[in-house]
């Protein structure tokens, strides 16, 4: 009897925590990455991902206020900025408050393109080949972001000089919804400079062949979203074909350093996080 009461109380606590506390318990994760190519001047990168606006706008707004004083050199956004078209306005408004000396660049994720209703969101977790019927207005999102100083790299790359260093920022569009065009994204990218790949799904690194990349940044997995103490991310449902090793945090794929972030938000199917706090990432690149 006592055990039953304890288990009911424990389950109630976990549900309250996972729904009411942890999805808003944001953290700024700081990491240092040393590239073998060598940089004459270190730079800072703020990586944001999976905001899924318009969910939790007020909480994210408070968190973003803490990010503004960081004054990063770059801001990179790795997809799922919005969940529905109602997310476009708060997304653009909040991002326009963050300044980056060398620029803000983004790629889109599956949720930027599609509006998943509840049933489609459930089905997506079992069969990723199914596409929702309704699309989001991603054209408007892209245009509004451009007006706010954020360039969406739509299977394209750009070069950003910084003193003696040269950055090649390559944006591969969403692999999950078959929008990635890797040859197009890498067109003109040579061996020189620091090559940074932005992708929603880290699985893109297995698709790029010999294309040169030093650092790949991704989101999509939400770090597992529901993890277990000591074990971390469960071995199933990682949303990452490359496997658990690449589904959260730092890893290395051949010569590429990869970082997959927990992201900031949650999707419409599961407003729940456990042992997997939402995060923004400040990378010091040396
Ligand atoms: Fe997401």
pLDDT, tens only, 139-178: 999 999 999 999 999 999 999 999 999 999 999 999 989 9
pLDDT higher than 70, residue 129? no
Q: How far apart are CA 276 and CA 221, in angstroms?
A: 11
> From the CA of 149, how far away is ligand 1's center (Å)?
22
Could you tell me if 67 and 99 are in contact, meaning their C-beta atoms sit under 8 angstroms apart? Answer: no
In the reported structure, the alpha carbon of residue 158 is separated from the centroid of ligand 1 by a whole-number distance in angstroms of 25
Residue 75 is classified by DSSP as E
Distance, CA 286 to ligand 1 centroid (Å)? 29
CA 265 to ligand 1 center in whole angstroms: 7
Query: What is the arithmetic mean of pLDDT over 255-271?
Result: 92
From ligand 1's centre to the CA of 178, what distance in Å?
16
pLDDT of 113 strictly over 70: yes
Please tell me the predicted confidence (pLDDT) of residue 57. Answer: 96
145 CA distance to ligand 1 centroid (A)? 18
Angstrom distance (rounded) from CA 167 to CA 169: 6
Helix, strand, or coil here: 84?
coil
Task: Report, as an integer, the average pLDDT of 101-117.
Answer: 95
Which is higher by pLDDT, 37 or 272? 272
Burial (CB count within 10 angstroms: exposed 0-12, middle 13-18, buried 19+), residue 226: middle
What's the Cα-to-Cα distance from 10 to each of 4, 7, 25, 225, rounded to whole Å? 10, 5, 20, 19
* Nearest in space to 28 (alpha carbons), one of 66, 73, 56, 79: 66
| Spacing, Cα 266 to ligand 1 middle (Å) | 6
Locate 235 and state its tokens.
Answer: 């071995």
Ligand 1 centroid–CA 151 distance in Å is 19
Mean pLDDT of all residues in 239-260:
93
249: alpha, beta or left? (left if phi > 0; alpha if psi -120 to 50): left
Q: DSSP labels for 119-132?
A: HHHHHHTT-TT---
**Does 51 have pLDDT greater than 80?**
yes
Distance (Å) from CA 68 to ligand 1 centroid = 23
Please name the residues in contact with 91: beta carbons below 8 A apart, sequence gap of 6 or more.
Answer: 51, 53, 81, 82, 141, 145
pLDDT score of 130: 65
**Total tally of structural domains belonging to the chain:** 1
Q: What is the whole-number distance in angstroms between the Cα of residue 193 and the centre of ligand 1?
A: 30
Tell me how far the alpha carbon of residue 1 lies from the centroid of ligand 1, in angstroms.
41
What's the pLDDT score for residue 119? 79
Q: How far does the centroid of ligand 1 lie from the alpha carbon of residue 10, in Å? A: 28
| pLDDT computed for residue 232 by the predictor | 82
**Ligand 1 (ion): which residues have CB within 5 A?**
50, 80
Neighbours of 244 (CB within 10 A): 16
Residue 216 CA, ligand 1 centroid: distance in Å: 17
- Identify the pLDDT of residue 239: 87
Ligand 1 centroid – CA 104 distance (Å): 19
Distance 6 CA to ligand 1 centre (A): 34
Q: Strands across the sheet with 256-260, in order?
A: 156-162, 165-171, 194-198, 215-218, 256-260, 249-253
Identify the CATH number of the domain in which residue 205 sits. 3.60.21.10
pLDDT tens for 52-83 read 999 999 999 999 999 999 999 999 999 999 99
Query: Where are any strands of DSSP class E within the chain?
Result: 27-33, 43-48, 74-78, 103-107, 114-115, 134-135, 150-152, 156-162, 165-171, 194-198, 215-218, 249-253, 256-260, 279-285
Range of lowest pLDDT (61-75, 120-134, 187-201, 203-217)? 120-134
The C-alpha atoms of residue 267 and residue 53 are separated, in whole angstroms, by 9
Q: What is the pLDDT of residue 50?
A: 98
Average pLDDT of the chain, as a whole number:
93
Q: Collapsing DSSP states into helix, strand and coil, what is residue 107?
A: strand
209 — alpha (psi -120 to 50), left (phi > 0) or beta?
Answer: left
pLDDT tops 90 at residue 265? yes
Q: Looking at residue 56, what is its pLDDT? A: 95
Token duo for residue 30 = 């700081």
| Model confidence band, residue 87 (pLDDT cutoffs 50, 70, 90) | very high
Per-residue pLDDT band at 91 (split at 50, 70, 90): very high
Instruction: Render pLDDT for 192-203 as a digit per residue (tens, 0 to 9).
Output: 999 999 999 999
Gap from CA of 50 to ligand 1 centroid (Å):
4
């Amino acid at each position: 009897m006592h055990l039953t009461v304890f288990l009911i109380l424990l389950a109630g606590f976990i549900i309250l925590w996972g729904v009411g506390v942890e999805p808003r318990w944001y953290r700024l994760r700081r990491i240092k990455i040393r590239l073998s190519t060598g940089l004459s001047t270190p730079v800072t990168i703020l990586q944001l991902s999976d905001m899924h606006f318009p969910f939790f706008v007020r909480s994210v707004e408070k968190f973003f206020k803490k990010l503004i004083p960081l004054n990063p050199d770059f801001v990179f956004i790795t997809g799922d900025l919005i969940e529905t078209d109602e997310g476009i306005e708060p997304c653009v408004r909040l991002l326009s408050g963050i300044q980056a000396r060398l620029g803000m660049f983004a790629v889109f994720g599956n949720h930027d393109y599609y509006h998943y209703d509840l049933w489609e969101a459930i089905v997506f977790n079992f069969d990723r080949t199914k596409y929702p019927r309704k699309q989001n207005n991603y054209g408007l999102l892209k245009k509004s972001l451009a007006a706010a100083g954020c360039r969406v790299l739509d299977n394209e790359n750009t070069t950003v000089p910084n003193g003696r260093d040269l950055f090649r920022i390559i944006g591969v569009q969403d692999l999950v919804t078959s929008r990635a065009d890797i040859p197009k994204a890498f067109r003109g990218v040579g061996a020189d400079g620091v090559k940074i790949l932005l992708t929603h799904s880290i699985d893109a690194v297995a698709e790029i062949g010999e294309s040169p990349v030093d650092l790949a940044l991704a989101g999509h997995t939400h770090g597992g979203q529901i993890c277990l103490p000591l074990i971390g991310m469960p071995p199933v449902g990682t949303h990452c074909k490359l496997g658990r090793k690449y589904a959260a945090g730092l890893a290395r794929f051949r010569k590429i350093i990869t970082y997959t972030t927990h992201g900031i938000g949650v999707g419409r199917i599961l407003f729940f996080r456990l042992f997997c706090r939402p995060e923004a990432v400040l990378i010091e690149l040396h």
